[in-house]
Structure 1
Amino acid sequence: MSRAAVQLSFGVRTFLARLHTATLTTLRSDGTPHVTPVRFTFDAATGLARVTTRAGARKARNVAAGGPTARVALCQADGFRWVTLEGRAAVTDDPARLAEAVRRYTARYRAAPPTPPDMVVVEISVERVLSLNL
């Protein structure tokens, strides 16, 4: 996946730094959406959002099944304010990428994420940012 910096307004950057839970929307094989609450990290400099999960989780399986064209939406909301990060996604169990995802998660949430034996990271190459009231 190619990665490029994502330009964000001050309001969007500030909002994404808040510790809200987000929803991750993936697509099932029949095209219907699967929406699940997640914690995530986002690096605007590389345009990469990360969600750690289990390889067997529906969200990871949906992304993996979508192959290189898998698309997802990650939405953080608080009342009438929200930001959605849209882009292509891939699942990896690469140790270095997992370590980076865990490092960023721990820095953001001040606690390590759960570490199941089949832990993977969903990496989202953000291509579009939508927001309201920010």
Structure 2
Amino acid sequence: MAETLVSTPTLSLEIRSWLMAELRFPVMATIASDGMPSQSVIWFDLAAGDVVLMNTRVGRIKERHLRRDPRVSLCFEQENDYVTLAGRAELIDDPERGLRDIQALARRYGDDPAAFEGQHRVTILMHVERATRHT
């Protein structure tokens, strides 16, 4: 089987289409204070430009890691076909926006938006600096 690896500094239309073709559960990697990677599955949506929108509860490990070091990567897989994104995170500390964003993500992923009422959430905007597609 021939392999193709294509890296670009932006989210191409092809990559955006692949990411949104079906519901995907990417693995997010952040950098712990000891320098080791830390990974977790996260919900996402694409925002305008080269931005990926995510959300987490305030106080979670990923939030603490990103406040200390904003470098982040995401890996989206479908068997041997996968996309990796690398970039920097911007944390939006607006409780109303955080709740709106997690509720929109919950609807996208088939969960109950009301289940997040009363939670203190932070929105994560990943500014993509490199996108790689492996087919």
CA deviation after TM superposition for structure 1 residue 40, in Å:
0.7
Give percent identity, aligned residues only: 28
Equivalent position amino acid for 2:46 in 1: F
Question: How far apart in 1 are the matches of 2:109 and 2:17?
Answer: 15
CA deviations on 1:42-66 (whole Å, 9 max, x unpaired) are 22x3211121111111111100112
Aligned residue for 1:124? 126
Secondary structure at 1:101's aligned position in 2?
A: helix
Q: How does 1:28-47 map to 2 (within 5 A)?
A: 28-43=32-47, 45-47=48-50
Pairing partner for 1:58 from 44, 58, 61 = 61
What RMSD in Å do the two structures reach over aligned CA positions? 2.4
1:24 paired to 2:35: no
Structure 2 SS opposite 1:98: helix
Question: Would you say 1:14 and 2:44 are equivalent positions?
Answer: no
> Would you say the 8 A contact 1:106–1:113 is kept in 2?
no
Going from structure 1 to structure 2, the CA distance change for 1:114 and 1:47 (only over 3 Å counts) comes to: farther
Alignment size in residue pairs: 124
**Which structure 1 segments of 5+ residues have no match?**
none
Once the two structures are superposed, what CA deviation does each residue of 1:78-128 show, in whole Å capped at 9, x if it has no partner? 100111111111222224642663465256335438526221112111111
Instruction: State the TM-score, normalizing by the size of structure 2.
Output: 0.77
Residues in 1 aligned to 2:114 and 2:83: alpha-carbon distance in whole angstroms = 23
Give yes or no for the alignment of 1:98 onto 2:98: yes
Structure 1 contact 92–121 (Cα < 8 Å) conserved: yes
SS at match of 2:101: helix
Contact residue 41 and residue 104 of structure 1 kept, 8 A: no
The structure, 1 or 2, with the larger RCO (C-alpha pairs under 8 Å, 6+ apart) is 2
| 1:78-93 superposed matches below 5 A | 78-93=78-93
Q: Which has the larger radius of gyration?
A: 2
Runs of 4+ in structure 1 off by over 3 angstroms are: 110-114
